[in-house]
Structures are given as C-alpha cells and as structure tokens.
Structure 1
Amino acid sequence: MALGIVMKLRAGAVALSVLAMMPVQATAESLADALASAYEHSGLLIQNRALLRAADEDVAVALSSLRPIIGWTAKVERSFSKFASATTGGVTAHNSATEANIGLSASLLVYDGGASRLAVAAAKETVLATRQQLISIEQQVLLGTVQAYMNVVRDAQIVELRRNNLRLVARELQAAKDRFEVGEVTRTDVALAEAQLAGGRANLAVAQGNLMASKEQYAASVGHQPGSLRAPRGLPKVPARIDEVRAIAVRSHPDLTAVQHAIQAAEYGVDRARAAMGPTVKLQGSYGITRDLDNDQYFSQGGAVSLGLEQPIYRGGQLSALLRQSMANRDAQRGRLHATRLTIQQQAGSAWSGFASAQAQLRASAQQIEAARIAFDGVREEAKLGSRTTLDVLIAEQDLLDAESNRITARASEVTAAYSVLSSMGLLTAENLNLKVERYDPEAYYNLVKTAPINRSKRGQQLDKVLKAIGKE
C-alpha cells in the first residue's frame, strides 16, 4: 500500500522529474510536453504540496486531543538530612535514603463543550482550503509555462524574420550599388541602403538577445533548455461570451472555494472560543512502584483514579479577548470572500477581453501583411523602372517587416490569452488539460494521517516508507 501511495505522491514530492533530468531531444517539443515537464519539475508545486501535507497533519494533531494521553516516569532520588535533638543529647545525626520510583499516568478528556471536535472540524476545513490553494498554484505554474513557451516560439520566429529581412536588404544594397555604377541612382540611395542594412543587423542582435532571455525563462519554468518548439496548431476551447466566462469563474475558481472553506474554519473557531469558557471533565489515573535501594525490605506500590471537573472563572479577560478575536477573524474572511469574488470576476472579464483583442489583432495583421506585400512588390517594380527611389523601396520593405512581426506577436498573444481565460475560470489544471503526467493525489497522504496513527502502528510504518521515498527523490 505504501508503494501505491508513493506512486500517487511522487509526481509532486521533492524530486525533479525524469523529463527535467534528460537532455533536450532533437524532436520538436509540443506545448503539452512543456506543460507536463513543468508540472513535474516546478519547485513551487513541490513546496505547496509539502505545505498541504503539513495541513493534513493538523487534523491528526487536533484529533489526538480526543484520545487518551499515556505516559511513564522513572527516577532515582537520593535524600539526606542532619539533625540534633534532646533525644540524641545534642549530637548531630545524619539520615539518608536512596529510592527508585517508576510510574504510569493516563488521562482522557471526557467533555470540553465540543471544543476539541470543533478544532478537528476547523483543521479539516483548512485542509480543503489548502487543496484549493494548491490548485491555484498549479494554474500559475502552467500559465507561466504557456507564456514562456510562446515567448520562445515568438522570439525564434522574429529572429528568423530578421535574418530573412537582412538578406533581402543586402540584395537591395547590392542592387543600389549596381545602379549607382551605371548612374541610375545617386550615392544617397546607396547610403540609405547601407543604413538600412546596419539597422537590420542591430535589430537582429536585439531579437537574438530577446530569444536568449526567453529561453532562460523557459528553462526556469520547464526544467530544461528548449530545443525545437512546435507552435500550437489549435487553441483550447473558450466560451464565446464574457458573461459565461465570469459565471464559470465564480463557480469553479479555486481562490473563491478556498476562501469559502476558510470562512467555515473561522466559524468553527468562534464556536471553539465559546466552548473554551465552559467546563471540562477529565478522567485521570496513575500507578507507581517505589523501592528503597538501601533497604531491600522496603517496597511500595499504589495508584489512583479520579474524575475531575473544572471551569475557568476569571483569566484576566483572556478568554473574552480570544472570542472577540475569533469573531474578527471570521468577519475578515467574509470580507475577503466579497473582495475575492470581485477580483475573480474582473480577472475573468479582462482575460476574455484580452483574448478577443488578440484575435482581432491577428485578423488585422493578416490583412496588413497582404496589403504591405502588394505595396512592396509594386514599389520595387516601379523602382526598377525609375519611378520610385531606393528610399521608397526601403520604407515599403520595413512596413512589410513590421506587419509580419505584428502577426507573429499577435499569434503568440492569442494562444497565451486563450490559456489565461482558462486560468481565470479555474480550469487550467493538469486534469482539465489531460496532460500525460502522474497527477498528484491530494487525498492520498491525508487518508493515511487523518486517523493520527503512531509510528509503531502499521499505518505509521507505511507513512515512514512514504516519507523516506519522498525524501530520496
């Protein structure tokens, strides 16, 4: 069983995935491949999975207060004294003894107004909230990966575009020099082409620098340097209306669900603070053995059982302050729910608007490229006939370059914006994307610890194996 739990947890434990350790292959890497690698590699996910396991343990800690507390003590005591009295004629007498004692003690909470059970319920709600926070972190990691992937694709295409443009400008420069030799153009035309070529080289250097930076961002997100990346051929399914996006976001976004669980935990906190003002009943027992090490004839043993009732009367206002504090925390969580709902609606609307804008930009850039290409071809032919100058050709060429660059950027923005819409709705997860990864099961560890097993129990030993396996990866 422990091995099965490890298999469920290992995807989000403390290890870099096998994919992250492998060298980049020559085959093209798809966006789905990159997302899978990021899911297995992300240190942020590893960190928050560990925080979830810590929250799971809070349930076990709270549950332990409802169980017997058993302990043992052992001591060896040497006592000595000296005294003088009339019976000794004023002579100082010495007395000493060495005793060994061993004992057992046990206590059981019988009644505390439900405070301990409320603590267990609050811990469970905190676990549910932490699970939702983990989903939110997962969305951040995957969206960051999409952005990194598309930045590399975009910048690589722009570098190639700049190289092609540089070759074209070099041909234009050679043509200008040839025409200058036969007197068709002036030295100014040649200088204009030379300036354009130098500017093209500078722009290529900038584009290459941007590509290098994007590759570093990709490596940080995915776990390895990018090889040949495939531009996505399609887009994830996105609702057609902004109202639908907002409605789904309010229903399913993990941030909102996390706050709802936090409110319920705070409600339990208020009830627990009230219960702390009531009486507590405890059953206690003890048993001990005492032996005089200086006298083999002396030996005693005995025990006691008691049922005690206690209730605080006055603690300097501490209990009242704790009650008011718990109520304030609950009210703060309620206010947070309202603010989170508005934020999620705003983010959903912004994401959908950004997606619609990117699509419109992509359509416009396609039309711009078509018109700019026709204009460039026409200006170049007219220049051959002498009715256009070299400057006219260079301007038309730059317009075409800008249009093509805009389309590349718009395409990258469209893909990123589509995944941003999914994230705003709370749907950008490994499960919803159907990534080929071993998905982290947030219930696997919880199911092992929720009954608060001790290390020597069968389940406790299974937990030891799980944690050792996690630590080795």
Structure 2
Amino acid sequence: MLKGMPVLTAMRKTLTGGLVALATVSGGMAAQAETLAQALTRAYETSGLIEQNRAVLRAADEDVAQAVAALRPVLSWSADVQRQFGVRGTTSPLTGRLSETGFVDNTASAALVASITLYDGGANRLRIDLAKEAVLGTRAELIAVEQQVLLRAVEAFMEVRRALELVALRENNVRVIGQELQAARDRFEVGEVTRTDVALAEARLAAAQSALSAAQGTLAIAVEEYRVAVGVLPENLQQPAGLPRLPASEADAKAIAVRSHPEIAAAQRRVTIAEIGVAIAESARKPSVSLSGRYGLTETFGEDTYSRGGSITLGAEGPIYQGGRLNSLERQALAERDQARAALLLTVEQVQQAVGNAYARLRVARASIDAFEAQVSAATVAFRGVREEATLGARTTLDVLDAEQELLLARSDLLSAQVDETVAAYAILSSTGQLTAEALALPVPAFDPAAYYRLVKDAPSSLSPQGRALDRLLRSMGKQ
C-alpha cells in the first residue's frame, strides 16, 4: 500500500449523509436517479420564498377589498353607562342663604351611527384602481421570484454535478500518481532512476491529495447549496439529456423578454400606480360631501326621564389653505411618477443586457466544449504515449506526471464547460421570462393567482356565502 492511500481512505470516510449517497454516483452503483426536472419540481414545491410572496400577493388582494369598502356605508354602534355624583349648591332668593344637596345620577345611552361619503373628488375610486394595479404588479413579482427559485435550483443541480465529477477526476489523479510513484520506487530499487524521480512523484502525490481535499470541500459546499435550493440532499443526480428549447436568435430572445419578462411587467404596473398617485394628489384639492345619521336612546336609572331621537347630517368640506402641503404632495407624486418611468426604462435595459450576457456565456461555453474535447483527445494520446515511452526509458517520471496533469486539467475544463452550457441555457430562459413551472411543464399543482382575489375583491362580509367560501379556502391553506 502506498503512503498516500490511507489518507485518501480517511478523507473519503468524511463524506457523510448526502455525500455518501453522492459517492454512489461516481462509483456507478445502482440508485434511484434524480433528474433536473425532478429537482426543479422539488424546489418549486418546497420553496419558502414562493410561499412568502404568495402571502404578499394575498395582502395586496386585501388592499382592493379595503379600497372598495371605503365607498360603502359605514354602520357602527356605541353605548355607555355614566355615573355622575357630587353636591349642588343653591341660594334662596328670599333669605340669600346657600344650601347644598348631594346627588347621584346614573344614565345609560346607546346609539346607531351610519355614514357614507357621497363625493370625494374621485379619490376613493382612484384608490381602487391603484390597489388593482398593485395586485397585478405583485403577481408579476411572484413570477419573477418563481424564476429566481428555479434558476437557483438549476445552478445548484449543475454545481453538484460539476463538483462530483471533479472529485472523481481528482481521485483518479491520486490513483494514477500513486501508481507512478510505486513504479518510480521500483525502478529506483533497480537503479533505473534516481532518488530525484521518486521525490518528484511523492511531491505530485501530495499536491494531488491536497487538490482532492479541496474538491471534496467544494462538493460539500455544493451539497449544502442544493439542500437549501431544492429542499433535500442530492442523490444520484442524472446528467440532463439535453438543453431546453431556446428562442431562435438573440434578437428574438430580447423581443420576447421585453414583451413577457415579469420584472418589466412589474415596472410597468409601478408606472401606472405612480400616475394614479398623481391623480389622487390632485383630487385632494376637491371638496368632499358626506351623509351621516344617528339614532340613540338615553335613560336615567331610577327616574322616569328618557330621551329617544336621532339626527341626519349632510356635510361638505374642502381645503382653503394648508400651508403648502397639498402643493408639496402633488410635486412629490409627479417626482415619483418620473422615477417610476425612468426605472421602467432601466429595467428594460437590464433585462436586455441579461439576455445578451446569457447568450454570450452560452457561446463561450459551446466554443470551450469544442476546444476542450479536442484537447482531451490529444492529451489522452500524449499521456498514453509518454507512459509507454517511460517504460522504455525514453521518458522521465516527470514527463509522465506532466502529461497526466495536462490530461486532468483538460478533462476538468471540459466538464466545467458542459456545466456552464447548461446553466447558460436556463439563464436565457430566465432572462426572457420563460423559466416558470408552467413553461417547463413541471408536474406541480397549478397555482391560480386570481383565486384569492376573486373571493375578496368585493370585500365580502364573514356571514355572506362568499365570506364563508373564503374561510374554507383559508382553512385549506392552513391559515386559520
């Protein structure tokens, strides 16, 4: 047994849990293969980020209900019981003397109050439109989050694949160098090589063992990222059979991105929201008209006195001077509108840049694959030839080690380029807004972003049929 081999065995034993399962991949053992599509499905179903943003969407839906409620009558009640006590002083008009009498009065009152805004310059209806636009923007942001989750899962899947293959290459490198070291020692014993050749092989073995440790550390990090991104530890990850279908050209991809990317859609909604905000700020100068009614009962305990009655009030109010506040609000709304418009243009540029970057990475990866395939082929022939020549004494141990190192680097570069190609292809889908569970036809439960909105958009009461349906939906979601 070579000196370096017990060290390798010990390092291999450190791969516990998920890493032990991963070792079966490089060893070729039979295990249930997990495809990229299955990993994406798991990531979608277990993503806390998607669930978080679905809750954000439900909160935005409720904003519509609250804006609708502002147009409806408001009915409320009030009740109170009051105890008054003290001393009353009276002066006799005949004698001019002051007399004091203690008193205690207990009264109860109850009232019903109803009010409704008849006119507010259209502000409340504008707030409904604003809330609806916010809902549409939040839906687009949810799709963007979904794309982030799926792209992260793709990257995690491929990085584990890359790390696994690199560990396998490093293990094979250690094995080959170990064999060369043993051969150098045998040849040294018979006087064919010097002690220098043995030392060179020993140094290369130590370096290979160090590189293997680094590769195993990279694998452990990749496994943790996979666990977070997908929700489970990786096990026997299968090489993707091919790349996803991409747009015909980069120009087509940019056109698709401008039309359908969720971040652009969300930015467009923010522009509309800002424009509605300007209209709301302008409506603050208009008068408002409200109607209110009150009916109540007041009764004093222990006495026969009581009062019943009500009132109806039609009121109007409007601003005259507020210290320049309304002008400031209008200017602020205009600035926010301009900001949203500029942000939209910037988002379009960033999305198009992302498409161009993804295509550039794809072209680089494909060119690298072609070059590295040729390099691997040539390096394999060279390594075999140098090794045969070394057995005949025409090459030194250092020549063999150098040839083996060239072959290892070529294989490693080829594997990395293949991983980069797959990641770049899915990045193109993400940059065009097509990396979604629906577009990828993942076998996941369909999510209807409008289902909750349809139940709450009319601000139903808890006693209405729609309100009871909403309660059933919340219970099914585990929210009640």
Normalised TM-score (structure 2): 0.90
C-alpha offsets along residues 76-121 of structure 1, whole Å, 9 cap, x if unaligned?
A: 1223451222248421133442211111010111111111000000
Question: In the alignment, does 2:383 pair up with 1:376?
Answer: yes
- Give the equivalent residue in structure 2 for 1:142: 150
- Give the equivalent residue in structure 2 for 1:367: 374
The match for 1:61 among 59, 66, 82 is 66
User: How far does residue 472 in structure 1 lie from its aligned partner after superposition?
Assistant: 6.2
- Give the equivalent residue in structure 1 for 2:54: 49
- Give the equivalent residue in structure 2 for 1:264: 272
User: How far does residue 64 in structure 1 lie from its aligned partner after superposition?
Assistant: 0.8
Question: In the alignment, does 2:114 pair up with 1:109?
Answer: no
Paired residue secondary structure (1:91): strand
Cα distance between partner residues in 2 of 1:406 and 1:34: 25
User: How far does residue 240 in structure 1 lie from its aligned partner after superposition?
Assistant: 4.2
Of stretches 339-348 and 168-177 in structure 1, the one that deviates more from structure 2 is 168-177
Question: In the alignment, does 2:468 pair up with 1:461?
Answer: yes
Question: In the alignment, does 2:300 pair up with 1:292?
Answer: yes
Alignment map for 1:1-400 (pairs within 5 Å): 26-81=31-86, 82-87=88-93, 89-295=97-303, 297-400=304-407
C-alpha offsets along residues 305-326 of structure 1, whole Å, 9 cap, x if unaligned?
A: 2222221112222222212111
- Give the equivalent residue in structure 2 for 1:420: 427
User: How far does residue 161 in structure 1 lie from its aligned partner after superposition?
Assistant: 1.4
Of stretches 148-157 and 182-191 in structure 1, the one that deviates more from structure 2 is 182-191
Cα distance between partner residues in 1 of 2:479 and 2:138: 25
Amino acid at match of 1:83: G
Aligned residues: 450
C-alpha offsets along residues 131-157 of structure 1, whole Å, 9 cap, x if unaligned?
A: 111111111111111111101011111
Does the 8 Å CA contact 1:245/1:352 hold for their aligned counterparts? no
User: Structure 1 stretches of 5 or more lacking a match?
Assistant: 1-22
Amino acid at match of 2:58: R
Paired residue secondary structure (1:135): helix
Q: Percent identity?
A: 50
Paired residue secondary structure (1:288): strand
Of stretches 169-178 and 422-431 in structure 1, the one that deviates more from structure 2 is 169-178
Of stretches 460-469 and 235-244 in structure 1, the one that deviates more from structure 2 is 460-469
User: How far does residue 431 in structure 1 lie from its aligned partner after superposition?
Assistant: 0.8
Residues 299, 420 of structure 1: CA spacing in aligned structure 2 closer, same or farther, 3 A cutoff? Answer: same
Of stretches 298-307 and 398-407 in structure 1, the one that deviates more from structure 2 is 298-307
Cα distance between partner residues in 1 of 2:260 and 2:370: 32
User: How far does residue 26 in structure 1 lie from its aligned partner after superposition?
Assistant: 4.5
Normalised TM-score (structure 1): 0.92
- Give the equivalent residue in structure 1 for 2:416: 409
Cα distance between partner residues in 2 of 1:454 and 1:378: 84
With a CA cutoff of 8 Å and minimum separation of 6, indicate the structure with the bigger relative contact order. Answer: 1
Of stretches 456-465 and 246-255 in structure 1, the one that deviates more from structure 2 is 456-465
Does the 8 Å CA contact 1:119/1:272 hold for their aligned counterparts? yes
Cα distance between partner residues in 2 of 1:418 and 1:57: 38
Paired residue secondary structure (1:153): helix
Cα distance between partner residues in 1 of 2:471 and 2:258: 40
Does the 8 Å CA contact 1:52/1:130 hold for their aligned counterparts? yes
